[in-house]
Amino acid sequence: MPTNLDPCAGLSLGASFRAQVAVSRRKLLAAGVAAAALAGVALPAIAQTESAPSNVIEELVVTAQKKAEALQDVPIAVSAFDQNALEKSKIDGGPNLVLAVPNVNFAKSNFTGYNFQIRGIGSKLSAASGDAGTGIHLNNVPLIANNLFEAEFFDMERVEVLRGPQGTLYGRNATGGVVNLITTKPKDVFEANVRGEYGNYDSKKLSGMINLPLGELIAVRAAGFYLKRDGFGKNVVTNEGVDDRDLWNGRLTVSFLPTERFRAWALLDHFEEHDARSRTGKQYCVKDPGPPNIGGTAYSAVPPVAQVQRGYFNQGCLPTSPYAPNGLGTLNSQGTVNGVFASYVGLQTGDSYAGKTQSPNIRNIESPFDPEYKSKTDTYEFNAEFDVTPALKLSWLASYSLFDQTNRQDFTRYTPTVPFNATPNPVNVFAGVPGYAGLYSLAFPGGVVSDPQIGAFNYQALYDVSDTHSDQWSHEVRLQSDFDGPINFNIGGLYLKYSNSQIYGVAFNASTAFAQIQNLLRTGNPNCFSAAPCVAVDPNPEMTGRGHNYLYLPQRYSLKSYAAFGELYWQATDTLKVTLGLRYTVDDKSVDNIPGAIQQPGIGLLGPLPGQPAVLRAKFKKPTGRFGFDWKPELSFTNDTLIYAFYSRGYKAGGVNPPFSPGLGVQPHPATFKPELIDAYEVGTKNTLLDGTLQLNLTAFHYDYGAYQVAKIQSRTTINENIDAKVDGAELETIWQPLQGLRLNAAIGYLDTKLGNAGSVDVANRTGGRSDLTLVKNSFGSNCVVTTTGAQTALAASNAAGNPFLISGIPGVLKGVCDVTSAAGAGTNINGSGAIAAGTNPFGSLISDGVLVPLSGKELPNAPHWTVSLGAQYTWVIGDWDTTLRGDYYHQTKTFARIYNAPSDQIKGWDNVNLTLTLVNDGMGLEIVGFIKNVTNEKVI
C-alpha cells in the first residue's frame, strides 16, 4: 500500500494588514495571482515576521507537563514548533511531523484510522474498541477520534510532540507519546491576517484570523482554513481526478477575564471534508496462479473442472516483495470471496483479471466509480482557571466532540479483463438443477448482474465502505501549586465517555448473484427482501445492514474511562528536583455482539451465536506513573545544562475483538485482547552552549514492552493478538545559529526493536513454504491449511465426482476441506510444522489456520533503525525585505510493514527534500513565499 510524497511547487504571495487597508491589499493580491501561473498569497500576523535576526536562540514555552515552562527546562523528550516554524518547514499537518521529529513514523491504515508511531509504538491493532498508542490532544483535551490525518495546521500557538510513555498527566493511551495541538488564544490587542497560496495541481489554500478585544473582559479570535486542489492521480475509467482535496476548517475562541484571579476561554472548532480522496493506495500483488498439481496429483482431465479446482488452492497474491518486477500485477480473482461466489453461480470460469497488470503510475487507479471521502468534526472546549491563592491554581477543562467519517472506494482499484459468462459455466453449484441455464439467462441476461448497491455490470465489481460515527465527553479537574518551598504538586482527575458506531462493508456483485439464484429457486423472487428461506437482497443503493447479499460488519462500542492522577515535585537542592507521579485508570468497554450475516437466510442483523452474550465486555484497571530526577549542574563549558533520568510506566487498554461470524473460520479467536504495558527507562540531557547560540539535546531509552497489540485479517474479520517486545534507542536534537541570520538544525533518531518469544500465523503465507502442507479454501472463501496428502484425498474425490462442488455423502467436496467436523486431533502439531490442528475435516484430515511463525528477534513494524532530519536557513536583508532561504532534508532507513518481517513486508528507505524562499517586509506587512515540496519527486511505498 503506497504512501505518496507528492511534489507541490508554487509561489505564494501575501500581506498582513489592518482593516482600513484591506481593499488595497486585495487589489495587490489579485494582481499577483494574475501575474504568475504558480502564485498565491500569505498574510501572516505582524508578530510572525522575521526582522533583525539575532544568533541567540529564542526559547519556546511549552506545556508538556501541563504548566508553562521553557522547552529546555522540561525533563521530557519533546519537540515543539510554533506556527512560523511549521510554515517555514512546510509541516502542513500531522503526517508531515514525521519529517521533523526523531523516531516518528506515520501510515494510513486500511480502514478509517491511521498509525502515528513514536519510538516503534503506535496503533497496529484494528478494532472499534482499540486505542491509539499516541495520544492526540487539542489544547490538552484527549481526542479518541480526531482529524490528525485530514486537517492542516493553522493559527497554532504551537504543536508539541512528547516522546515516550506519558502515563501520569496524559494517561491511558499515551504509551508511545502525545501530540498536543495548542491553538492560539484571544489576545488583548487587535490583529488580523490572511494567507493565500497557489500551487501546481491547481492547489488553492486560504487561511486567516482576526483577533478582537471587546473591552477589558472579553476577547474573540476567529480563524479559518480552506484547501482545494486537483487529484494527484486519475481514475482512467471515469477520467476524473482522484486523491483531490476539498476541505475547510473554522475555529472560534472567546476568552473571558472578569478578575485577576479568574480566567476562562471557550472554543468551537468545525472541520469538514468531502472529495474523491482514496483511503488507501495501490495494492501491490504478484499473482498466485495456484499450484500446477497437488503433491503430484493432477486436477481433473476436464479443463473447466480443473480450472475451478485450481482456484481453490490459491490465495490471490503470492507473498512476494512489492519491488519485484511483476509487483504491480493483479490478484487471481479465484482466490477471493467474490471469485468464489462467481464460480458457484457459473458467472466466471477462471481468473477475471487474467493478463492484467496495473498502471506503473502509482497515483492512478482504474474503477467504474470514483472514491468518496467524507469527514466532519465538531469540537467544543471550555477551560476555566481560578487562583485559589497566589500559589494554588484550580482548573477545569471540559470538552464535547462529534466525529463522522465515511469513505468508499473500489476494492481492487483495477477492472477485470474477462467478463461474466453469457451462459453459465457448466461447472457450478447448481449444475444438477433442471433448466439451470435458462434460469441463469433470466437472472443475468448477457451475463449482466444487476446489483442494487453496485449497479448493472457484466464483470466482477466490488467496493468497500469504512464508516464511523462517534461522540465524546471529557472533564478534567486539576489543582496545581507554586509554593516557594521545596514541595509542589499537580493533582487531578479525568472522566471520559465515548461511544462509537463503526461499520465496515463490502458490496460485491457475485455475492448478490449467488443470493439471487438461491432466492429464485427457493421463493421465485431473486430480489426478495424478507425472512428465511430468502437471503435478503437489500434494495437500497447504500448498504443498510438489513441485506445479506453483502459483507456488513457493524461494531457498536462504548467506553467509560476515569482516572485519578498526581505528581509530587521535591526541590531537593537548588539544582536537583525529584518527581514522583502516580495515576490509576479504569477503562470499562463494551461492544455489541453482531456477527456478519453474508449469505445467511433471513433479513437484518444477526444476533449473537449460540452461547454468546449480546454484549461483549472488558474492564481494565491499571496503575501507572513515573519516578525520577532532573538536575541542573553549573558546568564551565555550557551556559545551561539539564540532566534527567526517569522510570515510567505506560498503559494502553485492551479491548474486544470483533465478533466471529458463523461458518467462516477454522478456529474462533479470543473474545478480547490484553492491554499494553510499557516499563520505560530514559536518560537525557538538554544543553545550551556557545553563549546561547547552540542547543544540543540527547536522549537514550530502553522499553520493556508487554502485550504489544497487533491485528491481522483472518476469516473476514479482525483478530488482535498480544506479543511482548523490547525497544532500545537514542535521539539527538540540535539547533545552532553560528552567525546572525544562519540557522542549522538536526533531529536524528536510532531504534533497535525486537519482538519476544511468540508465534503467529502469517495469513499471507499460511504453509510457511512447506511442501507437506497445502492451502485450500472453505465454502466462503476463507483459507485453511491441511496436509498435502489430505488435500490429495479431497482432490481425488473431486475428480471422481466430476464436479468440485458436488459428491454423494460429502457435500461441497473442496468446499468442505476447511470444515471442522470432529474435534479429533485438536491441538496436534501437524507434521511438526508448527501448524496446530483445530480438528478433523470430512475427509479425516487434520486442519489448521496455518503455521505459527516464530517471532523472537524480529523487528517491530514501522520502526526504522534511523530517521534523520536536517535543516538549514539563512536570512539576509535586501533593502526593506528580510529574505530567508530554507532547505529541509529527511531520510528514513528500511522498515517492515508487518511483524513477520517477510520479504513481502520489507519497505525500502526513502528521502524527502523541501525548499522555501520567504521575503518579509515589516513596513508593508507583506510576506512572499515560494516553495517546492518533495524536490526529488520521490514515490515511496
Give me the pLDDT at residue 47, please. Answer: 33
Give me the pLDDT at residue 820, please. Answer: 84
Give me the pLDDT at residue 14, please. Answer: 34
pLDDT beyond 80 at 715: no
CA distance 429 to 779: 11
Its sign, for the CA torsion 302, 307, 309, 310, is positive
- Kindly report the number of other CB atoms within 10 A of residue 340's CB atom: 25
The pTM of the full predicted model, rounded to 2 decimals, is: 0.90
CA distance 648 to 644: 13
Position with higher pLDDT, 271 vs 109:
271
What mean pLDDT do residues 441-470 have?
Answer: 96
Cα 45 to chain centroid distance, Å, stands at 34
C-alpha cell at 351: 481468473
What DSSP designation does 796 have?
H
Give me the pLDDT at residue 806, please. Answer: 58
Low-confidence winner among 39-43, 201-205, 616-620, 823-827 (lowest mean pLDDT): 39-43
Give me the pLDDT at residue 922, please. Answer: 87
pLDDT digits (tens, 9 = 90+) for 911-931: 999 999 999 998 888 899 999
Query: Could you tell me the CA-to-CA distances from 292 to 67, 297, 309, 557 in Å, in that order?
Result: 67, 9, 11, 46
* Contact between 850 and 762 (Cβ < 8 Å): yes
Establish how many alpha carbons lie within 13 A of residue 265's alpha carbon, considering only the half-sphere containing its beta carbon: 17
**Type of residue found at 680:** A
Band (pLDDT 50/70/90 cuts) for residue 662 is low
CA distance 760 to 722: 10
**CB neighbours of 755 closer than 8 A, spacing ≥ 6?**
708, 723, 724, 725, 855, 856, 857, 858, 859, 860, 899
Which residue bears the cell 497489540? 709
Low-confidence winner among 151-160, 390-399, 656-665 (lowest mean pLDDT): 656-665
Most confident of 34-48, 646-660, 803-817, 894-908: 894-908
pLDDT beyond 60 at 94: yes
Helix count and strand count (H, E) for the chain: 7, 45
What mean pLDDT do residues 166-184 have?
Answer: 91
CA distance 939 to 362: 8
Low-confidence winner among 133-147, 228-242, 366-380, 605-619 (lowest mean pLDDT): 605-619
pLDDT beyond 70 at 406: yes
C-alpha cell at 557: 462500542
Its sign, for the CA torsion 634, 636, 642, 646, is negative
pLDDT beyond 70 at 282: yes
* Contact between 646 and 654 (Cβ < 8 Å): no
CA distance 128 to 554: 9
**CB neighbours of 498 closer than 8 A, spacing ≥ 6?**
144, 145, 470, 471, 472, 473, 558, 559, 561
CA distance 700 to 684: 6
Give me the pLDDT at residue 716, please. Answer: 67
User: What is the percent of the chain where pLDDT is above 70?
Assistant: 92
Coil, helix or strand at residue 804: coil
For residue 75, is the peptide bond before it cis, meaning its omega torsion is within 30 degrees of 0?
no
Give me the pLDDT at residue 713, please. Answer: 80
C-alpha cell at 523: 421463493
pLDDT digits (tens, 9 = 90+) for 721-754: 999 999 999 999 999 999 999 999 999 999 999 9
Give me the pLDDT at residue 498, please. Answer: 97
- Kindly report the number of other CB atoms within 10 A of residue 258's CB atom: 11
CA distance 730 to 725: 17
Coil, helix or strand at residue 717: strand
Band (pLDDT 50/70/90 cuts) for residue 712 is confident
pLDDT beyond 50 at 44: no
pLDDT beyond 80 at 302: yes
Give me the pLDDT at residue 54, please. Answer: 65
Angle between helices 337-345 and 509-523 (to 10 degrees): 40
Band (pLDDT 50/70/90 cuts) for residue 19 is very low
Mean pLDDT score of the chain: 89
pLDDT beyond 60 at 12: no
* Contact between 157 and 83 (Cβ < 8 Å): yes
What mean pLDDT do residues 839-858 have?
Answer: 92
Give me the pLDDT at residue 110, please. Answer: 75
What mean pLDDT do residues 699-725 have?
Answer: 89
What DSSP designation does 412 have?
S
What mean pLDDT do residues 763-771 have?
Answer: 93
Calculate Rg over the CA atoms of the chain. 30
Strand partners, 103: none
- Kindly report the number of other CB atoms within 10 A of residue 479's CB atom: 15
User: What is the percent of the chain where pLDDT is above 90?
Assistant: 74
Total residue length of the chain:
941
Through-space distance between the first and last CA atoms of the chain, rounded to whole angstroms = 6
What mean pLDDT do residues 112-135 have?
Answer: 89
C-alpha cell at 385: 482557571
C-alpha cell at 777: 479454501
pLDDT beyond 80 at 419: yes
Band (pLDDT 50/70/90 cuts) for residue 206 is very high
Give me the pLDDT at residue 61, please. Answer: 87
Q: Which of 664, 775, 788, 799 is closest to 308 using CA atoms?
A: 799
* Contact between 774 and 295 (Cβ < 8 Å): yes
C-alpha cell at 562: 476515569
Give me the pLDDT at residue 438, please. Answer: 94
Give me the pLDDT at residue 925, please. Answer: 84
Band (pLDDT 50/70/90 cuts) for residue 666 is low
**Type of residue found at 400:** Y
What mean pLDDT do residues 478-485 have?
Answer: 96
CA distance 337 to 352: 13
